[in-house]
Amino acid sequence: MVGGPRHGPKPPTDMGDGDTDNRYEHIAVLLEAARADPRGGMDPLIIELTPLLWHVARAQGLDAAHCADVVQTTWLNLLRSLADIHTPAALTAWLVTATKREAWRAKDAHRNETLAGDETFADLLDGSAGPVDQALVADQRRRLWKAVDQLSTRCQQLLRVVAFTPRPDYGLVANRLGMPKGSIGPTRGRCLAKLRELLTSDPDGEWG
Amino acid sequence: MTTVRPDEPIDQLDLRILAAVRDLWSAADPPPADLVDRIRGAVALAGAFLGSPTVAVCRQRTGSDDVGRITFDSDALTISLSVGVNLDGTVRMDGRLSPPGSHDIELRTDDQRLCTRSDVHGRFTINGLRHGPAHLTVSATDVSLTTPSITL
């Protein structure tokens, strides 16, 4: 599809991030390969998009072990639907929706167990160790943690998923997080704007 | 402090912030290191049955993961497994299918592929397994069922 029309919804503006655009096009190529050979052609897609699905599942408040099962089940279910999915936007939307539903189902099924999936940013920060911990204490990252932690849970959840999603799908992802259709843009914008404001208002930060 | 209006177009700084958020979560809460390989194995196994009339995925039943007993439900079949450890440290899996029937059964781990067949009562045993993640596939007449990963 190089040189052809872009599939799926266009981003609302030109955001000028070549890497993200390339990733979207890359996924289109991987999707074609998987559709052509579902038996053996899924691996690159799984490698590319499993992190997104992981963070979608985790953002639903499910613990790590169950999230792993949820993501795996979603990929297995995709095998049966792959023939009906033609664009990266449709693929991402399908995967995000399926992951979220599966996570909710798992959460409901294991309601009586103690699920450790509701960690706050602070919990994750405190619980990390080793190299990751060292990376996290880097000043800019620490400031980012602090700013994100001040956002509402809904905004944290939305931005976590949006950050891992190929850009043309921002709107679709927002939709899958249960927001009113008409407010996709403004809601996403408000969360981003709030985070940006928190970061840029820090006189010692590097985001200004 | 500059007030940012939410209806302003996303710009480079927004993208930098989102990239930083992505890095943050990647460092703080990454997927398990073996998750992609587990999924690839499960999808490859399920993909092998794509030629079958139906490929279905079982779902683990609520509360079924205590004391080595696991139950997977699907529309077509229920798979009940009892997993125990032998004295020599290997793992034994006893299973029962409902409704009962004689079907081909394949258990695949990272380095093992074991095949058996359930009896007319739907019972089967797979013995001598090593610890680790595994997937079970039952090939009934008109459906192939694959379980999510089971940790032996």
The CATH number linked to B142 is 2.60.40
Taking contacts as CB-CB distances below 8 angstroms, the residues of chain A near B72 are none
- Which residues constitute the domain of residue B38? 12-44
DSSP for residue B131: S
Taking contacts as CB-CB distances below 8 angstroms, the residues of chain A near B150 are none
Question: What is the distance between the alpha carbons of residues B99 and B12, in angstroms, rounded to a whole number?
Answer: 59
**Same domain, residue pair B35 and B97:** no
**Same domain, residue pair B31 and B57:** no
Q: Which two tokens stand for residue B118?
A: 């359930």
Q: Is B2 on the interface with A (CB under 8 A)?
A: yes
Residue A59 three-state SS: helix
- Dihedrals φ, ψ of B22, to 5°? -60, -45
Which residue would you say has higher pLDDT here, B35 or A168?
Answer: B35
Is-contact B67 A96, C-beta < 8 A? Answer: no
Q: Is A199 on the interface with B (CB under 8 A)?
A: yes
Print pLDDT tens along chain B (152 aa). Answer: 455 555 566 677 887 888 899 998 998 899 999 899 888 887 877 766 554 434 455 555 544 444 467 777 777 788 888 888 888 888 889 999 988 888 999 998 877 888 899 998 899 999 888 888 888 888 877 777 888 777 77
Total domains in the fold of chain B: 2
Taking contacts as CB-CB distances below 8 angstroms, the residues of chain A near B35 are 50, 54, 68, 71-72
**How far away is chain A from the Cα of B5, in angstroms, using its nearest Cα?**
7
Taking contacts as CB-CB distances below 8 angstroms, the residues of chain B near A43 are 40, 43
Q: How many CB pairs under 8 A join A and B?
A: 164
**Same domain, residue pair B103 and B124:** yes
CB contacts under 8 A, A 168-197 vs B, are 185-186, 189-190, 192-193, 195-197
**Same domain, residue pair B35 and B55:** no
pTM summary value = 0.63
Q: Is the pLDDT of residue A182 over 90?
A: no
Q: What is the pLDDT of residue A116?
A: 45
Q: Per the CB < 8 Å rule, is B42 touching A186? A: no
B5 lies in some domain:
no
Give me the residues paired with residue A81 across strands.
Answer: none
Taking contacts as CB-CB distances below 8 angstroms, the residues of chain B near A185 are 7
**Same domain, residue pair B133 and B74:** yes
B110 lies in some domain:
yes
Q: What is the pLDDT of residue A180?
A: 35
Is-contact B10 A15, C-beta < 8 A? Answer: yes
CB contacts under 8 A, A 75-114 vs B, are 75-77, 79-80, 105, 109-110, 112
Q: Is A164 on the interface with B (CB under 8 A)?
A: yes
Which residue would you say has higher pLDDT here, A175 or B135?
Answer: B135
Q: Per the CB < 8 Å rule, is B30 touching A109? A: no
Q: What is the pLDDT of residue A172?
A: 47
**Same domain, residue pair B59 and B128:** yes
Q: Which among A68, A127, A145, A136 has a CA at the least distance from the CA of A102?
A: A68
Residue B69 three-state SS: strand
**Same domain, residue pair B124 and B69:** yes
Question: What is the distance between the alpha carbons of residues A98 and A92, in angstroms, rounded to a whole number?
Answer: 10
- Dihedrals φ, ψ of B55, to 5°? -110, 125
B36 lies in some domain:
yes
Residue A207 three-state SS: coil
Chain A interface disruption, residue of B2, B24, B74, B150, most A CBs within 10 A: B24
Question: What is the distance between the alpha carbons of residues A77 and A11, in angstroms, rounded to a whole number?
Answer: 28
Q: Which among B93, B84, B97, B91 has a CA at the least distance from the CA of B123?
A: B97
Q: Which among A166, A136, A153, A194 has a CA at the least distance from the CA of A58?
A: A153
**Same domain, residue pair B56 and B33:** no
- What is the arithmetic mean of pLDDT over A71-75? 91
**Same domain, residue pair B69 and B133:** yes
B6 lies in some domain:
no
**Same domain, residue pair B97 and B145:** yes
Which residue would you say has higher pLDDT here, A137 or B138?
Answer: B138
Q: What is the pLDDT of residue B78?
A: 83
Q: Per the CB < 8 Å rule, is A47 touching B36? A: yes
**Same domain, residue pair B73 and B111:** yes
Q: What is the pLDDT of residue B32?
A: 93
A39, A76, A164: residue with CB nearest B48: A39
Give the ipTM of the model, two decimals please: 0.72
Question: In the structure, what pLDDT confidence band is assigned to residue A115 with cuts at 50, 70 and 90?
Answer: very low
B2 lies in some domain:
no
Chain-centre distance for alpha carbon A205: 26
Q: Is the pLDDT of residue A135 over 90?
A: no
Q: What is the pLDDT of residue A193?
A: 86
Taking contacts as CB-CB distances below 8 angstroms, the residues of chain B near A160 are 21, 25
**How far away is chain A from the Cα of B142, in angstroms, using its nearest Cα?**
15
Helix (H) or strand (E) holding B145: strand B144-146
